[in-house]
A and B are shown apart, each in its own frame.
Chain A
Amino acid sequence: MRAGEPSDDPDLIARLRRGDSRAFEELVRAHQHRLFGVALRMLGNPAEAEEITQEAFLRAHGALGEFRGDARLATWLYAIVSRLCLTRLASGERRAGLQGEEGLLRLHHPGRGPDRVAEQSELEWALHRAIAELPEERRIVVVLRDLEGLSYEDIAGALGLELGTVRSRLHRARMDLKDKLERFL
């Protein structure tokens, strides 16, 4: 988890388990950008990312009774949205429209076209493109680890993978990115 992010509030968890709608709204408000970020990195389409993120929160709302508190709420939510993204990518039911890094850049810099964005932040553009070009199973690992800050163990739990598989995929992803970003290093 990224530094400075607060730990779960026990009172919030208790209220969530009681079905408190205000508590759930707090949860959505606190984690919306995290989940949307993962979905957008994985899907590249803002509308599709919003749809998946909303579905992730709905699934969480329906399964709050199953949340035992063994993991952090954020980790649990990452697991839901990650699996939804991978399922969507595997299904082939993809939306036509804004794809890849173009969608990411417009969200980062609303009102600016890709050219304008690229001029101001060529590195950022290259990073987005390099991440988007990673194979899905490596991309989700590097997104969760290097962009969202999850531990190896949390990633393994979220994706249902062995720890060694997480390490291996992460290493391959980073090596791919290093090669793609060679001119910035």
Chain B
Amino acid sequence: MLRLNGSGSRVAVLGCILIALFASLAMPRLSAAQQGATLSGFVTDAASGETLILANVVLVSGEIGAATNTSGYYSITGIPPGSYAVTASYLGYREYRETIRLSPGEARRLDIEMTPDAMLFDEVVVTGAREEEEEIRRIGVAQLSTNQVRRMPALLEPDVFRSLQLLPGVKAASDYSSGLYIRGGSPDQTLILLDRTTVYNPSHFFGFFSTFNPDAVKDVRLYKGGYPAEYGGRMGSVVDIYNKDGNRVKREGSISLGLLASRAIVEGPYSKGSWMFAVRRSTLEPLLAALQAADVGGIPDKFYFYDINGKLNFDAGPDDRLSVSFYTGRDQLLLPIIEDTNVDLAYGNFTASANWTHLFSERLYSNFTLTSSRYFSNPLFEIGGTGIERDNRVYDVSAKGDFEYLPNELHSVRGGFWTGNFTFRLQDHFDDQPTLGERIQSVYGSAYVEDIFRPNPLWMIRAGLRGSYFGNGRYARVEPRLAVEFQPNPDLRLQAGYGRYYQFVTLITSELFSGSDIWLTTDEGVPPAYGNQFVAGAKTRPMTNLNVDVEVYYRTMEDLFELDPFLPDAAGLDYDELFRFGRGFAYGAELFVERTRGRVNGFLGYTYGVTRRRFPGFEDSKLYAPKYDRRHDLKLVANLDLFRHWRFTGVFAYGSGQAYTNPSRQYKLIGSPLGSAVKEVVWSPFNEARLPPYHRLDVGAARVGRFFGFADYELQLQVLNAYARRNVWFYFFGFEDDNTIERTEVPQIPVPVPNISFTLTFD
């Protein structure tokens, strides 16, 4: 059954018209293009053989070029015959330059190896830092290098998501959460992909930081909003992460010792490609043992986490590359809380993917992937002889294909599909008796087509259409996407975009604790959530090495479905009775000022943001601000490379107060026949108060050099919350024995927290 609501169908029809228009525009050009030459190939790191994503390849005299895709492949079509200087650029690498001569209709394969820049300390790769890289200068797109992730002052462990939280438009709920709250959306509105595979709970330490090992990660790309038709399934944003392929030139490795965890990675070549293997494990056992020996209360009997990443690449031929990769991670906690009470919690993820990149021709690129993702959480509480257990599992197996066809120099047509099977299982036991057993299995599928149309050097129009189907409830939806860019001069891009986005899953989670996250899906009576996103922006380069970008956004959220937070027991209820349904909106503006090179570099990001929700029947159906709503957000990241062996980093964050509920009245019910405890009640205008402003300074210093001649070393010394700001996380209101209510301030990280790590990198 195909369902289309009114406004959706109108927009969908508009999208179809646009696609048809661009397709028709493409046809007359084909004959002209036949005389043009084509240049294509892969761009790799000469030292490691690692493919470089979003490297820029330009024909200087022709002023045409292309960026490499996620496989490191580029293709430039419709090149008039003649001689050209080809340049390739990628920040942190020496510019590649070569002169070539192209004949009419020639299809030239040019694989480019780029040499890393010896000036390591100029390698500051933060969002949008690379010179004129097309893709990451697109609206709503940001990119983060793992060098920057490792360099940022970190709470115990370098973290990809905590680094993303520094970008404008991305907010953190608290110092203790690595969850991404992007442009007014909750974490479940962001699709997390690792090597094209969905990751369902990307957290360690119950949300403290993310699962991605910065040693293993090659590339992190964030689509904050208005993302293209290639992606779908979430109504907010996309984080697309790629692990390293492994060094194709030489074997090398590194070991990092940190306060919380230690990491190791080895990588190297073999006759047909490369491999990479990285492992990270917490190393808290000695500390826990010492604390237990000192009779400190609340110390777990057992706590650890680990993650392992691996990848194997096989170069089957010049036009075929295959790879398999996997990730597995687990957190385990065994905690006796009080007498006769224990918590035993395990959760983790496993992902695997097999990828085949095939070039049908220099004009037709393809990529096929098989993915498997598994998530589990298994909290078990033993309280006073009664066991309370939850077993929650998600299995997601999928196949996807992406194609890119370049019919001529004006058009780049992309298309693809993604289909799979999603299985969710939730079983609750209370006192050894099953109390809930849900098993949801659903097929899903989607297909998209997109045309990037460049009628002239000033304009770029990207129009796409995505169709999605979710078996549970048999929902079919059409999602149009449109982005327009006008570049009146090389240093100014004016951009606007629109997109419709559907989401068929929802996450039950808590900011306090992400170890027992549960995903639920649409079904009969539970329609998918959807939203429209409108974005506009200007990206400027007022002077060399300085970017000034502004973006504004407005987005709607309709048919939001969440587990009813007041539901004490789901037994016997119909599936749709488990949920509450609501709507919301968000709007904001982001400013990003960045100095990309130099001994003092970094960025300043400012966000003005508003987000609201409304659930009929909840709090008189009034609009309210969720806790993570924060009007003003300012982040400053500065890198100082003043000396040969030392480098310094500082991060300052300021945010206006988050929403919270400030009770104004109280009462007690004393006559309940059900129990002897007095029922204490507060009355509060929900989330109408604001916490004090948040601010924090983190600083770090690193010394690098050779370690006894056999390895490079890096010693990092960092201090978080350097001036001991006591930011408020939330207030706790407790009824006291003397019939008063005491407000207790629960702080975020209240004291300076040092962090030391030592890394050896060896050949």
Decide whether A and B assemble into one complex: no
Query: Could you tell me which A residues sit within 8 Å of B by CB distance?
Result: none
Query: Could you tell me which B residues sit within 8 Å of A by CB distance?
Result: none
